[in-house]
Chain A
Amino acid sequence: MLQVWVIVLASFLYLGVLFGIAWYADHRADHGRSLIANPVVYALSLGVYCTTWTFYGSVGRAAANGIGFLPIYLGPTLLFALAGFILYRMIRVAKANRITSIADFVASRYGKSQLLGGLVTVIAVVGVIPYIALQLKAVSNSFTILSSYPEIVMPASAGAVPLFQDSALYVAMILAAFTILFGTRHLDATERHEGMVAAIAVESIVKLVAFLAVGAFVVWGLHGGVADVFARAAEVPEVARRLTRADTSAAYGSWGTLIFLSLFASLLLPRQFQIAVVENVDVKHLNRAVWMFPLYLFLINLFVLPVALAGLLHFPAGTVDADTFVLTLPMAHQQEGLALFVFIGGLSAATGMVIVETIALSTMVCNDLVMPLLLRMRWLGLAEKADLSGLLLEIRRWAIAIILGLGYLYFRVAGEAYALVSIGLISFAAVAQFAPVVIGGLFWKGGTRDGALAGLAIGFVLWAYTLLLPSFAKSGWLPEGFIAHGLFGIELLRPQHLFGLTGLDEITHCLVWSLLANLGAYIGVSLVRVPNAREARQASLFIGGTDLSGHLAWSGSAGVADLLPLAGRFLGRERAEDAFMRHARSRGLNSVEELPGDARLVNFAENLLAGAIGSASARAMVSSVVSEEPLGLDEVMNILDEASQVRAYSRELEQKSLELTRATAELRQANERLRELDRMKDDFISTVTHELRTPLTSIRAFSEMLHEDPKTDLEQRSKFLGIIVSETVRLSRLINQILDLAKLESGRAEWTVNAVDVDEVIHEAADSLTALFAEKRVTLDLSGLDKGLTVMADRDRLMQVMVNLLSNALKFVPPDSGMVRVGADGSAQEVRVSVTDNGPGIHAADHEVIFDKFRQGSGGTDVLTDKPQGTGLGLPISRQIIEYFNGRLWVESVPGAGACFLFTLPRQAGDNGKKF
């Protein structure tokens, strides 16, 4: 079953599934439904800490010296107990400053120094390469062993295999291709990879389950439980040696050193920083990880010692490499499926590490090493190029390929001399060099760029001299005498007994020298001078946790016109525009163009760029377009010390009071409008009362006539009663219409449009006013009415208009001699109605004024005639109604010669476009 093609196919299928998961997670993220915004996924993705070192190497380490594999996992447990002090702050700082890598973090902390970012990148790349070599070695070995099933054959040493038959080379190439597909598909302003994190979380589950499966198989399948394994081991003296540790102070010292070392490594390894800090979706997820990640480590270590002991018991000493027990034990018992599953588990451990590590390193190489150099080479003209986002991706892809290439090279050169864990420890010791500048940078404000540079440089040199170079020497690439007799044969310079220090294992020896020198140089050189302005600002950002951005970052200014194209060059036009738009919205503006070219905008642009090209390069780029006066030391110190805190508060207060003034002005305006509306409401009520009085008067008149003259004949009486009834009806209608007016004003009026006979409406209106006309003895002449004129209109509204016009006329004609004439005629398009009286007439200047609402209600100016009567509401309502039906209402009059009110209505209602 375990032919080569089956193993290869299973591997590719597995990688394909991972890719599918990543794609799906990216897809979800693009639609705003993040798959990884979950504390459990976060805790699982932290499991990237467990690589093939854990999966294969731990058993090998346990077979060599028992429980000695464990400190590597106790350290991270302790780190997470300190999460509130360290990780929590790092995540907050990284989010606020768009930190994209550990190099970016250090560079940013010490004044955005490009030099420092570059140095950290070099250390990280050189330091991590052995670690990558370890993964290649583990995968290629496990592949070789599994493919020779059913025999168990140890792979030949890497140097002995011709280059193109070396499976590690192909593993490296496949992993490079896979990583490039995974991590460099597009450029993200925050350098986050949702799909990758989802895939890593899944891989964490796979490798854990695979290891637990082997453990369960070995403990319960091959033996009678954990106690049985230990009991049998105790019987064999050669194996029983692993059950206890050497009881010497050196052994306890190196034990403690490893706990301490792994504590820092789980924080400072580029991939751990990437997953724990950069990819963190929500700082709250850290809560769950505090116990869940240690629990994960606990579970994956549960069976390490039993498996190692079982392997030692099972295989004759020296025949099988203990690093492969996890795989060879199931193979030796013909568990083909389990063996394949283990291989996939190991592949998970390797791919997870390689993907995240190389993506993190490639980001650092691109942002902190290559881009700053390229941007410095002015003859390349990069700074003027329109779009650099493609170039950034290209650099990262090459970086991934080169890093894996270097990993392979190290594997060929030095991979054979060491067990898996020993190779990994070399890398751990390298990244531990970051500890003083990172931890110190989080707690001590006095650290300077020079101190950080000095500490890192000397720590790195000592690490290389005491650990990296000896690994080359042991592999025969440097003369053996280098280790035995020191550089140039000087005994004091023996790399593993530097200055005669003996009695320590090589890792502890390296750490003692390198970290002592590192810490000493960092603090010592930092104390040579006070931090300069920029360092002090960054220190307060990282330590104080106060957000001084916007106040301090830039004193100069630059407009959107400069900054947007700059961001667009690195992020791509669309992404940059999106980001600026969001920024504009967050400031309550509607478009990017409205953004003021102030310090806040500049700071925003720098942060945005920092996500793509690192903080140091971002600063350099932004400063090329910003016309700033660099902040003087005094200025910054002023703002930092207490007195200026107060000043900052007072500035805030000033701003607040400014806002208050603005709000007050707005309130005053609103108040004035309210008062105006209130006055209009009073006017409205007084005029409305008039409208109600007209029908009431009519009802009262007829009722009194009936009441005072009981002898009225029946016919007359029923006519009067009929009028009273219809007037009452009209009154209630009127009240409804007054309510309507309110609706009309608010645009919520209802209209019932029918074909209306104009002649009939006029007669009905006239009938309802007969009593009033009779009372004032005014003649109403209805002889000028053409028959059969119809319009599309609301009957009640039209009636209302007629009554208004007639009663209006009646009011102004003289008693006894008064005369009101109504005429109606029509053309094909429209109907025209006129109401003519012989009253005093209206001044030309007032012809429009009388239609103004409430104008008369004010009472102060008597615009109509010298005889103020009326309300002024009737005419405006009438005009609104007529205009609603697309008609016109106007007056023709000469003072002293009466007035003629005319309106026209179209025969067809048309679309009643005019709304009130």
Chain B
Amino acid sequence: MIRTRLVAQRLAFLFLLGCVFFNYPLLSIFNQGGSLFGMPPLYAWLMGSWLVLIALLALVIEGMHD
């Protein structure tokens, strides 16, 4: 599956990126009242960064044949 070491390394990087996105201390920045795009900041951040991470995963995987 993972043809090249490069793709595996990119995915591993995304894993680490996700760990950072989804954990303290980044979370504490958004853990407050108010609203971001009409949503609570924490919710907006988690769903948004999650979607970005998925998009990056797709980009790395689907682009690996090029």
Contact = CB atoms under 8 A, between A and B. Distances in A.
Interface in B8-66: 8, 11-12, 14-15, 18-19, 22-24, 27-28, 31-33, 35, 37-40, 42-43, 46-47, 50-51, 53-55, 57-58, 61-62, 64
Interface in A268-293: 283-284, 286-288, 290-292
A83 B51 contact: no
Contacts of B27: 245, 252, 255
A84 B27 CA distance: 27
Contacts of B15: 78, 81-82
Contacts of B37: 227
A861 to B, nearest CB: 70
Given A283-B1, A287-B1, A74 B47 contact: no
Nearest to B2: A84
Interface residues of B, number: 37
B8 A81 contact: no
Given A67-B42, A294-B54, A81 B14 contact: yes
Contacts of A243: 33, 40, 42-43
Contact of B33 (A67, A244, A288): A244
A88 B1 contact: yes
Contacts of A77: 18, 50, 53-54
Say what secondary structure dominates the interface of chain A: helix
A302 interface: yes
A80 B33 contact: no
A230 interface: yes
A291 B24 contact: no
A230 B47 CA distance: 15
A70 B39 CA distance: 16
A244 B42 CA distance: 7
Interface string A84-95: 110010000000
B23 A256 contact: yes
A288 B32 CA distance: 36
A290 B31 contact: no
A71 interface: yes
B54 A70 contact: no
Given A81-B14, A84-B7, A259-B22, A287 B31 contact: no
B23 A84 contact: no
Q: Which of B2, B32, B43, B55 has the most C-beta atoms of chain A within 10 angstroms of its own C-beta? A: B43
A374 interface: no
Contact of A78 (B19, B31, B38, B58): B19
Contacts of B61: 287-288, 290-291
A634 interface: no
A124 interface: no
For A83, A226, A243, which residue has the most chain B Cβ atoms within 10 angstroms?
A243
Contacts of B11: 81-84, 290
Nearest to A245: B31
Interface in A184-234: 225-227, 230-231, 234
Contact of B57 (A66, A81, A255, A302): A81
Interface in A533-574: none
A439 B58 CA distance: 25
A826 B47 CA distance: 106
A80 B57 contact: yes
Contacts of B57: 80-81, 290-291, 294
A305 interface: yes
A694 to B, nearest CB: 73
A85 B37 CA distance: 37
B2 A88 contact: yes
A897 interface: no
Contacts of A249: 24
A71 B22 contact: yes
Contacts of A67: 42-43, 46
Nearest to A228: B38
A172 B3 CA distance: 45
Given A230-B38, A287-B1, A291-B57, A244 B31 contact: yes
B1 to A, nearest CB: 5
Contacts of A84: 1-2, 7-8, 11-12
Contacts of A298: 47, 50-51, 54
Contacts of B55: 291
A287 B4 CA distance: 13
Contacts of B33: 234, 240, 243-244
Interface string A240-269: 100111010100100110010000000000
Contact of A247 (B31, B39, B54, B62): B31
A85 B61 CA distance: 14
Contacts of B39: 226-227, 230
A79 to B, nearest CB: 9
A671 to B, nearest CB: 45
Nearest to A240: B33
Contact of A227 (B22, B24, B38, B50): B38
A13 interface: no
A295 interface: yes
A243 B50 CA distance: 18
Contact of B35 (A71, A230, A290, A305): A230
A83 B28 CA distance: 29
Nearest to B17: A81
A286 B18 contact: no
B14 to A, nearest CB: 5
Contacts of A286: 1
Nearest to B21: A74
A664 B45 CA distance: 71
A302 B12 contact: no
A85 B53 contact: no
A244 B32 contact: yes
A252 B30 CA distance: 13
Contacts of B50: 74, 77, 294, 298
Contacts of B40: 230, 234, 243-244
A66 B24 CA distance: 17
17 contacts: A83-B1, A83-B2, A227-B35, A230-B35, A230-B40, A230-B43, A231-B35, A234-B33, A244-B33, A249-B24, A252-B23, A255-B23, A283-B1, A287-B61, A291-B58, A298-B54, A302-B47
Given A243-B43, A255-B24, 11 more contacts: A74-B18, A81-B15, A84-B12, A230-B38, A234-B33, A244-B32, A252-B23, A252-B28, A256-B24, A290-B57, A295-B54
Give 6 nearest A-B pairs by CB, closest first: A227-B38, A84-B2, A291-B58, A81-B15, A252-B24, A291-B57
